Amino acid sequence: MIVDGSDSVFSGVGYPTSKFAVNGMTKSLARELGRSGIRVNAVAPGVTRTDMVAALPSEIVERISAPNHWGVSEPEEVANVFLFLASDLSSYVTGTVISVDGAAQTDDQSLRLNQRIDRQAQSLAVLHIEPG
């Protein structure tokens, strides 16, 4: 979960960095495994009613779900995307990350924050540390 405010990330750098890693891995594996007829996709849920979200203070949940104007999603809404991906209806869908976030990524502030985090993640990816 990402919170826009003084350029901070609510859960630290590890959580969003792992999400960017999943996105890259999804695209890479789709290219590699596509030759064998294997499709690889990822689902990126927004704020969803889970135990993790239930443990957050209500003001934080309101703040992180505000960009989508739909509030908090239900687990079934995210599960429906997995059902689609597991069905024959998605036979030509591969190498994509499907956002299930009530259009939160279309919010200007969210886009700017995600672009900042993307640049930070890219700069982390090019760090080179010489052995001891």
Is 124 within 8 Å of 9 (Cβ atoms)? no
pTM across the whole model: 0.67
Whole-number Å distance between alpha carbons of 113 and 115: 5
Of the candidates 71, 14, 68, 73, the one whose C-alpha atom is nearest the C-alpha of residue 43 is 73
Tens of pLDDT along the chain (132 residues) come to 222 233 334 567 787 788 888 999 999 999 999 999 999 999 988 888 888 888 888 887 777 777 666 778 889 999 999 999 999 999 999 999 998 887 776 655 555 555 555 555 555 444 444 454
Catalytic residues: 15
